[in-house]
């Protein structure tokens, strides 16, 4: 198949290099064919479908592979449905998930305001190049899904692939709660200055967020219709639930207003808070002080429900322990329910004015109702009006005063944007292969460590190295903002690296959050403080990981922060594709355990000294690298690891200390 039209996912570091004219190299991937059959049944959504797809493909194992969707069922998927599935490729681990060009593609191009010349050019080119939909495709392997088997689904409490059938959500939550907390009964906490209380399992955040899941008109019209029916029957959002609505496109608010549905969402508290990443990236904003006090008083096991893509630990809010992904209509339904143990299939959401119980089935919109609203409320002119001229940006952007200059003028006093040190004291020639000898493990981590664990996106805690940095700069806690907002400041981001509030470092058992043990003193301290001390001693550092290290979003700061902490190598059982590439792009060596070796059977505890033998003499892509482990007992063990520098180009980046340094030297 000809992939010249294909756009795969790249990390931020690769994108930066690409903007400077550097090609991206990769091994030719396997292509998995994902056949879709039939159509989704009444009452299900694209979110239910995509969460099922994520589960199937994670179980299959598609890291570093392409996934192409094909089959007779394509005709029953709108382009918005397809985009929902393609957008979650990072969640199912693929390099990319994509659909062939077909009549639905052309229909969308016309509908979104493209002129007929563009439409006809796309059609002709796709057919001439063999890119048009076809059943005669050769794949490395295949999986299949009968879409008629899809049922309402959510995912959680901490990974997108943790699929939960809605019919089992209540009972599954009880199991998660009991296994996590080891409590025999629910803790209850009174909320000051209110007439209500919260308890373990209370839903404190319900957010319709801006990911592609929320740019699908079907699910948003569905949410609006559900809200309308709920309001008309007298239902209200539970008072302890913080609700918000942040679509990814202004067209969304246009068609909701035209359909008259926005006022019902507003009435249930789903007011427009902006366009773009909010709760899904950790920008949920603070919970009310009295809610936080109630949580902390009894250590309440609180819940969020959001329509985003990612629900990793510590991402949504520091006060929320369990996070569930759901379709926008289900987000609204859970805001009405207020608690995860309410069974949406069996339990009443409230009573109407006649005292009759109201169930989810009473307010769930039919497919025909949604389609009828879409026909009257959404048209091509909306896209043309909103996006025919976006060059000037909103009025707020236009009011920003700037000075024209050939290079960026750094504000030395800014705590948001600082000049990064990546190019400080850059030698004229590449550094080549540097010896790594007697390195200390800074962290030993388990499986499925995400880039959220490595580089948090959520709120910044006062009692943390970052909090101390802010206090030194006279920044009050109310103005700390989030790591996502502060990512232009390397001082913040390197202090936040490995500082996720839920990360568990096996070197420091019994702790949770960004802590490690300094050796040989065996003193527990924050990761950043240990790095400062090891740097004074001239000690090299490595990180040990389990399977699928660096999964999740490809956040470039997960690699940049690792670099700034002085970590020379990551040794893991396997890597997520983009994070592996980003590590190489920052001059960090990814090594993969082989022959069944791992942190457990090697009995690594953090006191070891680790050396990479003879790498200063050079190495080749995918070469075996010998690793020497000196144990506290005096025993020495040597094992082979696989160098996960995969291509010749990547080898050059590593020798230069990173892809950006390589590009700069070439420019000079």
Predicted confidence at residue 15, as pLDDT, reads: 80
pLDDT digits over 300-325, tens only? 999 999 998 888 887 888 899 999 99
Q: What is 436-667's CATH superfamily?
A: Aconitase, domain 4 (3.20.19.10)
The domains spanning 12-149 and 436-667 adopt the same CATH topology: no
**Average pLDDT rounded to a whole number, residues 236-261:** 93
- The yes-or-no verdict on residue 17 having pLDDT over 60 is yes
**Average pLDDT rounded to a whole number, residues 259-275:** 94
- The yes-or-no verdict on residue 187 having pLDDT over 90 is yes
Q: What percent of the chain has pLDDT over 90?
A: 68
- How far apart CA 615 and CA 236 sit, in angstroms, is 64
pTM given for the model: 0.87
- The yes-or-no verdict on residue 3 having pLDDT over 60 is no
Range in 85-94, 288-297, 435-444 with the lowest mean pLDDT: 85-94
pLDDT digits over 364-397, tens only? 999 999 999 998 988 878 888 877 776 667 788 8
- The yes-or-no verdict on residue 633 having pLDDT over 50 is yes
Q: Which residue from 524, 472, 662, 531 is spatially nearest to 584, judged by alpha carbons?
A: 662
Residue entry with tokens 């759901």? 326
**Average pLDDT rounded to a whole number, residues 143-161:** 95
> Which residue would you say has higher pLDDT here, 240 or 20?
240
Predicted confidence at residue 8, as pLDDT, reads: 62
From residue 367, how far is each of 147, 364, 668 by CA, in Å? 16, 10, 60
Predicted confidence at residue 323, as pLDDT, reads: 95
**Average pLDDT rounded to a whole number, residues 213-223:** 86
- How far apart CA 563 and CA 422 sit, in angstroms, is 9
- The yes-or-no verdict on residue 2 having pLDDT over 60 is no
Predicted confidence at residue 5, as pLDDT, reads: 47
**Average pLDDT rounded to a whole number, residues 417-439:** 89
The helices-and-strands tally (H runs, E runs) of the chain is 24, 23
Q: Which residue from 307, 257, 226 is spatially nearest to 46, judged by alpha carbons?
A: 307
- How far apart CA 97 and CA 105 sit, in angstroms, is 16
Local structure of 71: helix, strand or coil:
coil
Identify whether the C-beta of residue 307 lies closer than 8 Å to the C-beta of residue 327.
Answer: yes
Predicted confidence at residue 107, as pLDDT, reads: 92
Predicted confidence at residue 274, as pLDDT, reads: 84
Helices (H), 32-163: 46-60, 79-87, 89-92, 103-111, 116-128
Q: What is the largest CA-CA distance in the chain?
A: 82
7 pLDDT band, cuts 50/70/90, is low
**Average pLDDT rounded to a whole number, residues 656-666:** 88
Identify whether the C-beta of residue 367 lies closer than 8 Å to the C-beta of residue 219.
Answer: no
Q: Which residue from 48, 36, 56, 333 is spatially nearest to 218, judged by alpha carbons?
A: 48
**Average pLDDT rounded to a whole number, residues 415-422:** 92
pLDDT digits over 37-88, tens only? 999 999 999 999 999 999 999 999 998 899 999 999 999 999 989 999 998 8
- How far apart CA 461 and CA 2 sit, in angstroms, is 49
Q: Which residue from 209, 205, 207 is spatially nearest to 276, judged by alpha carbons?
A: 209
**Average pLDDT rounded to a whole number, residues 97-123:** 92
540 pLDDT band, cuts 50/70/90, is very high
**Average pLDDT rounded to a whole number, residues 447-468:** 88
> Which structure tokens are listed for 533?
């001390």
Range in 60-64, 528-532, 596-600 with the lowest mean pLDDT: 60-64
In CATH terms, 12-149 corresponds, of 3.50.50.60, 3.40.1060.10, 3.40.50.720, 3.40.50.2300, to 3.40.1060.10
pLDDT digits over 470-520, tens only? 999 999 988 998 888 898 999 999 999 999 988 999 999 999 999 999 999
- How far apart CA 383 and CA 252 sit, in angstroms, is 10
The residues, any chain, with a CB within 8 Å of residue 619's CB and separated by 6 or more, are 433, 625, 643, 645, 651
- The yes-or-no verdict on residue 418 having pLDDT over 80 is yes
Range in 353-357, 543-547, 588-592 with the lowest mean pLDDT: 353-357
- The yes-or-no verdict on residue 14 having pLDDT over 90 is no
Domain positions in the chain are 12-149, 153-380, 436-667
Predicted confidence at residue 665, as pLDDT, reads: 87
| CATH 3.40.50.1370 applies to domain 153-380 | no
- How far apart CA 308 and CA 289 sit, in angstroms, is 25
Predicted confidence at residue 392, as pLDDT, reads: 67
- How far apart CA 110 and CA 88 sit, in angstroms, is 25
- The yes-or-no verdict on residue 621 having pLDDT over 80 is yes
The residues, any chain, with a CB within 8 Å of residue 37's CB and separated by 6 or more, are 71, 72, 73, 144, 145, 146, 147, 148
């Amino acid at each position: 198949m000809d992939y010249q039209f294909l756009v795969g996912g790249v990390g931020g570091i690769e994108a930066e290099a690409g903007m400077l004219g550097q090609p991206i190299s990769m091994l030719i991937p396997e292509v998995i064919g994902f056949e879709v059959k039939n159509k989704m049944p009444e009452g299900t959504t694209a979110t239910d479908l995509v969460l099922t797809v994520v589960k199937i493909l994670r179980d299959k194992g598609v890291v570093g592979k392409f996934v192409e969707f094909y089959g007779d069922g394509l005709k029953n998927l709108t382009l918005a449905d397809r985009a929902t599935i393609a957008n979650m490729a990072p969640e199912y681990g693929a390099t990319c998930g994509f659909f062939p060009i077909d009549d639905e593609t052309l229909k969308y191009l016309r509908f979104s305001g493209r002129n007929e010349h563009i439409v006809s050019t796309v059609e002709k080119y796709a057919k001439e190049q063999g890119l048009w939909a076809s059943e005669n495709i050769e794949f490395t392997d295949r999986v299949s899904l009968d879409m008629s088997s899809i049922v309402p689904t959510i995912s959680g409490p901490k990974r997108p692939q943790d699929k939960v059938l809605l019919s089992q959500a209540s009972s599954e939550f009880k199991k998660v709660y009991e296994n996590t907390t080891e409590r025999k009964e629910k803790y209850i906490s009174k909320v000051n200055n209110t007439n209500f209380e919260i308890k373990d399992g209370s839903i404190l955040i319900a957010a319709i967020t801006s990911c592609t899941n929320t740019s699908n008109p079907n699910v948003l019209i569905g949410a609006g219709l559900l809200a309308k029916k709920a309001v008309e029957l007298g239902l209200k959002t539970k008072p302890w639930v913080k609700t918000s609505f942040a679509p990814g496109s202004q067209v969304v608010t246009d068609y909701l207003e035209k359909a008259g549905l926005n006022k019902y969402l507003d009435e249930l508290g789903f007011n427009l808070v902006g366009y773009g990443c909010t709760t899904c990236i950790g920008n949920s904003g603070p919970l009310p002080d009295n809610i936080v006090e109630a949580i902390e008083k009894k250590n309440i096991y609180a819940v969020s429900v959001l329509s985003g893509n990612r629900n990793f630990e510590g991402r949504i809010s520091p006060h929320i322990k369990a996070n569930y992904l759901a379709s926008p209509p289900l987000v609204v339904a859970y805001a009405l329910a207020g608690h995860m143990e309410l069974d949406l299939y069996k339990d009443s959401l409230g009573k109407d004015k006649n005292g009759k119980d109201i169930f989810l089935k009473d307010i769930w919109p039919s497919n025909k109702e949604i389609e009828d609203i879409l026909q009257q409320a959404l048209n091509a002119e909306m896209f043309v009006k909103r996006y025919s001229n976006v060059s000037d940006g909103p009025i707020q952007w236009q009011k920003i005063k700037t000075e024209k200059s050939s290079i960026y003028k750094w504000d030395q006093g800014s705590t948001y944007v600082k000049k990064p040190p990546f190019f400080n004291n850059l030698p004229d020639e590449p550094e080549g292969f540097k010896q790594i000898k007697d390195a200390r493990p800074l962290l030993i981590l388990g499986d499925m460590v995400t880039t959220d664990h490595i580089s948090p996106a959520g709120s910044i805690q006062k009692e943390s190295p970052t909090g101390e940095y802010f206090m030194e700069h006279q920044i009050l806690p109310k103005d700390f903002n989030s790591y996502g907002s502060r990512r232009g400041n390397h001082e913040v981001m390197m202090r936040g690296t490995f500082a996720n509030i839920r990360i568990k470092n096996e070197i420091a058992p019994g702790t949770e959050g960004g802590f490690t043990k300094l050796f040989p003193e065996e003193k527990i301290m924050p990761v950043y403080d240990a790095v400062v001390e090891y740097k004074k001693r001239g000690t090299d550092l490595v990180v040990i990981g389990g399977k699928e290290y660096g999964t999740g979003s490809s956040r470039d700061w997960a690699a940049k922060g690792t670099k700034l902490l002085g970590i020379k190598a990551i040794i893991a059982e396997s890597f997520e594709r983009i994070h592996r590439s980003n590590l190489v792009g920052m001059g960090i060596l990814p090594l993969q355990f082989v022959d069944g070796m791992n942190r457990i059977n090697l009995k690594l505890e953090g006191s070891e000294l680790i050396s990479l033998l003879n790498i200063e003499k050079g190495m080749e892509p995918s070469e075996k690298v010998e690793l020497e482990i000196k144990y506290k007992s005096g025993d020495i063990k040597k094992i082979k690891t696989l160098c996960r520098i995969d291509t010749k180009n990547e080898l050059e980046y590593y020798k230069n200390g990173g892809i950006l340094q390589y590009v700069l030297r070439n420019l000079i």
